[in-house]
Amino acid sequence: MLNRIDLRGGARDPRRLLPRAQLDVSVAVERIRPLVEAVRDHGYPAIREASERFDGVSPERLRVPVETIRAAEDELDPQVRAALLESITRARKVHADQRRTDHTTTVVPGGTVTERWVPVDRVGLYVPGGLAMYPSTVVMNVVPAQAAGVRSLVVVSPPQKDNDGLPDRRVLAACALLGVDEVYAVGGAQAVAMLAHGAGVDPAGDERCEPVDMITGPGNIWVTAAKRLLRGVVGIDAEAGPTEIAILADDTADPAHVAADLISQAEHDPLAASVLVTPSTALADAVDGELARQVPAAKHAERIGTALRGEQSGVVLVDDLEAGLRVVDAYAAEHLEIQTENARDWALRVRNAGAVFVGAWSPVSLGDYCAGSNHVLPTGGCARHSSGLSVQSFLRGVHLVEYTQDALREVAPHVVTLATVEDLPAHGQAVSVRFPGGGPS
Ligand SMILES: NC(=O)c1ccc[n+]([C@@H]2O[C@H](COP(=O)([O-])OP(=O)(O)OC[C@H]3O[C@@H](n4cnc5c(N)ncnc54)[C@H](O)[C@@H]3O)[C@@H](O)[C@H]2O)c1
Ligand SMILES: N[C@H](CO)Cc1c[nH]c[nH+]1
Ligand SMILES: [Zn+2]
């Protein structure tokens, strides 16, 4: 079922040969540019028009009334509530440990630099809701933002035809459980544009959506493209687009588990990527057999099949696990599972991955919901340079520079020299002017 890419016996550049989708984010950026500009220029009418076009529904009032958010929590199935609370508790534990403390370095006596960690003021959190509903993503966005101390949080999520144009009820309930009360029924590129530019006054609700300073959260290729386009107007986290799973496995892996994990992430999107990297043709054959058995029985067999057959998915055959490690590093998957003997040893050598899932009992699905780790992770190779969402994503480090007169006098000649070298003498003068005699005061 999976395409096979045979990298055995050669030193070919794996980066060029690895499976990746042709419809990449840069193509999508050009397609959504007019929509983003329309939202910037016209606000609510452009948002409504896009919602009608892409979601087939647009509520009268885009802001979800606070009573509706609370009612969603009241109506929440007790089992779902318990699962969400467990997810929140575990995520809070891990994210609390990510908090930063301010630190002062004494550079010289009388000269200090303090690094202050200041939360972003207002943040927009995208919660997807096209092919699947994502209350778990409310948790993964909100928990680190709250742990960082962000004061103003706004959630956007697509309007649902079967919920009167409101976001999914479970998404609203998760917002209530976390104490978020500013929620808009908007999805896709139009939601990202609305967060970045604000949306003036809603004629139906008489409210104004103020622009945010930063947008985080995952989404499909259109959401990801809008985030890339608007980076700079606002801050964004990593690009967290269509889901990817890579599995580095050897003969010790259970083919039924490997296949189930590949399927689990293919379930997100026809553009999702599932890649197995292995030196074992026996395992590759057995996984193919399992896929043939498991996919037709899956609820979302059609989009899973599309994702698995797509050019972005496949089995990569390698000479040995050392070569496999080079391949997974070159691929830089959003999620990487290591299902090998001595899995932890291999996992500790991985350099490029959004998150690494170690051994037979740590599947990606655990991390999606209840491991305590964050599931908003970089895709499309961005794990080479970016991290998953964390408390750090919502903080800015601000240096506080404090020198006494003596400490400045001591270093003044060096400042003047460097300013002269750069032909910026006014910089040097701004220091010299403070010491007219040059000597001690
Ligand atoms: N990387 C991560 O951390 C991570 C985490 C969770 C989910 N995901 C991914 O998020 C995605 C969720 O996708 P989804 O479709 O279910 O929900 P979504 O909310 O991301 O996308 C649905 C929205 O897309 C908009 N849309 C559709 N076509 C458009 C177009 N041409 N232009 C502009 N907007 C358009 C619609 O208006 C709709 O509101 C999946 O790809 C999944 O794999 C990634
Ligand atoms: N696997 C997704 C991250 O790419 C996260 C998720 C949410 N719900 C289920 N899965
Ligand atoms: Zn998932």
126 is in an annotated binding site: yes
Is the minimum distance from the CB of 218 to ligand 1 under 6 angstroms?
Answer: yes
- Cα–Cα distances (Å) from 231 to 64, 228, 237, 388, in that order, read 26, 5, 9, 17
CATH code assigned at 93:
3.40.50.1980
70 and 212 share one domain: yes
Residue that terminates a domain, selected from 326, 355, 372 = 372
Residue 31 lies in a domain: yes
Q: Is 60 assigned a catalytic role?
A: no
67 and 94 share one domain: yes
Q: Is 300 assigned a catalytic role?
A: no
Residue 354 lies in a domain: yes
259 and 345 share one domain: yes
284 and 231 share one domain: no
Is the minimum distance from the CB of 27 to ligand 1 under 6 angstroms?
Answer: no
Residue 381 lies in a domain: no
Assigned token pair, 407: 């400490």
Query: Measuring from atom 6 of ligand 1, which residue has the nearest CA?
Result: 218
The per-residue pLDDT for 441 is 42
How far is residue 361's CA from residue 366's CA, in Å, rounded to a whole number?
9
Query: Measuring from atom 10 of ligand 2, which residue has the nearest CA?
Result: 368
Instruction: Dump pLDDT digits (tens) for 207-260.
Output: 789 999 999 999 999 999 999 999 999 999 999 889 999 999 999 999 999 999
Residue 11 lies in a domain: yes
Residue 81 lies in a domain: yes
Ligand 1 centre to CA of 429 (Å) is 55
Residue that terminates a domain, selected from 237, 267, 288 = 237
367 and 265 share one domain: yes
**Which residues of the chain are modeled with pLDDT < 50?**
440-441
How far is residue 26's CA from residue 46's CA, in Å, rounded to a whole number?
23
243 is in an annotated binding site: yes
Ligand 1 centre to CA of 284 (Å) is 31
The per-residue pLDDT for 25 is 87
194 and 322 share one domain: no
31 and 144 share one domain: yes
Ligand 2 centre to CA of 375 (Å) is 6
Structural domain including 79 reads: 25-101+121-237
261 and 178 share one domain: no
Ligand 1 centre to CA of 262 (Å) is 20
Task: Say how many domains are in the chain.
Answer: 2
How far is residue 237's CA from residue 124's CA, in Å, rounded to a whole number?
11
The per-residue pLDDT for 20 is 75
Looking at the predicted complex, does its ipTM rise above 0.85? yes
The dihedral through the CA atoms of 192, 133, 244, 391 has a sign that is positive
Give the gyration radius of the chain's Cα atoms.
25
Residue 293 lies in a domain: yes
Is the minimum distance from the CB of 331 to ligand 2 under 6 angstroms?
Answer: no
226 and 337 share one domain: no
| Ligand nearest to the CA of residue 21, numbered in listed order | 1
Residue that terminates a domain, selected from 237, 253, 275 = 237
268 is in an annotated binding site: yes
Q: How many residues does the chain have?
A: 441
Instruction: Dump pLDDT digits (tens) for 312-366.
Output: 999 999 999 999 999 999 999 999 999 999 999 999 999 999 999 999 999 999 9
326 and 186 share one domain: no
Query: Measuring from atom 34 of ligand 1, which residue has the nearest CA?
Result: 188
Which residue among 334, 375, 385, 399 is the active-site one? Answer: 334
Burial of 399 (0-12, 13-18, 19+ CB in 10 A): exposed
The per-residue pLDDT for 116 is 98
How far is residue 351's CA from residue 372's CA, in Å, rounded to a whole number?
21
79 and 41 share one domain: yes
Residue 412 lies in a domain: no
60 and 72 share one domain: yes
Residue 400 lies in a domain: no
